Amino acid sequence: MNHFYVYIHAKPDGTPFYVGKGCNGRSRNFSNRGNQFHRRVVAKYGAEQIKVFVFPCDTEAQAFSDERRWIAQLRADGCELTNCGDGGDGGSSGCKRSPATIAKMSKSQAGHECSAEARRKMSEAKKGKPGHKLSPNARTKISAALRGEGNGGSRLSEELVCAIRAEYATGLTSTAQLGKRYGISRSHAWMIVSNKLWKCVQPNTFHPSRSDRKTCGEKNKMSKLNDDTVRFIRASTEATGKLASLLKIHRTTITKVRSGMSWKHVDG
CATH code of the domain containing 37: 3.40.1440.10
> Is the alpha carbon torsion for 25, 26, 32, 36 positive or negative?
negative
Query: Which of residues 130 and 193 earns the better pLDDT score?
Result: 193
pLDDT digits (tens, 9 = 90+) for 89-114: 654 444 566 788 888 878 777 776 77
Q: Is the pLDDT of residue 245 over 90?
A: no
**What is the Cα 180 distance to its own chain's centre?**
15
Number of structural domains the chain divides into: 3
Strands (E), the chain: 4-10, 16-23, 51-56
Same domain, 189 and 165: yes
Which pLDDT band, with edges at 50, 70 and 90, does 167 fall under? confident
Q: Which long-range contacts (CB under 8 A, 24 or more apart) does 185-191 make?
A: 189/164
Q: What is the pLDDT of residue 11?
A: 93
**What is the greatest pairwise CA distance in the chain?**
92
- Among residues 27, 49, 76, the one where a domain terminates is 76
Helices (H), 146-250: 158-169, 175-182, 186-193, 227-235, 240-247
Q: What is the pLDDT of residue 1?
A: 67
Please say whether the beta carbons of 27 and 52 come within 8 A.
Answer: yes
> Residue 92: inside a domain, yes or no?
no
Mean pLDDT of 212-220: 62
> Residue 176: inside a domain, yes or no?
yes
Mean pLDDT of 116-130: 79
Same domain, 188 and 236: no
> Residue 135: inside a domain, yes or no?
no
Q: What is the pLDDT of residue 195?
A: 85
> Is the alpha carbon torsion for 76, 81, 85, 86 positive or negative?
negative
> Residue 181: inside a domain, yes or no?
yes
Q: Is the pLDDT of residue 210 over 70?
A: no
Same domain, 204 and 227: no
Owning domain of residue 241: 223-259
Same domain, 12 and 71: yes
pLDDT digits (tens, 9 = 90+) for 35-80: 889 999 999 999 899 999 999 988 888 999 999 999 999 999 888 9
Same domain, 72 and 20: yes
Same domain, 198 and 244: no
Same domain, 195 and 230: no
Q: What is the pLDDT of residue 18?
A: 94
Q: What angle do CA 152, 181, 154 make, to 5 degrees?
A: 5
Classify each residue of 150-181 as buried b or exposed e, where b means 16 or more C-beta atoms within 10 Å of its C-beta.
eeeeeebeeebbbebbebbbebebbbeebbee
Same domain, 198 and 168: yes
> Residue 109: inside a domain, yes or no?
no
Same domain, 228 and 189: no
> Residue 95: inside a domain, yes or no?
no
Which pLDDT band, with edges at 50, 70 and 90, does 135 fall under? confident
- Among residues 29, 54, 76, the one where a domain terminates is 76
> Residue 164: inside a domain, yes or no?
yes
**Distance from C-alpha of 26 to C-alpha of 93, rounded to nearest angstrom:** 14
Q: What is the pLDDT of residue 6?
A: 93
Classify each residue of 46-84 as buried b or exposed e, where b means 16 or more C-beta atoms within 10 Å of its C-beta.
eeeebeeeeeebeeeeebbbbbbebbeebeeeebebbbb
> Is the full-model pTM beyond 0.85?
no
Residue partners of 236: CB distance under 8 A and separation at least 6: 243
Q: Is the pLDDT of residue 19 over 90?
A: yes
> Residue 30: inside a domain, yes or no?
yes
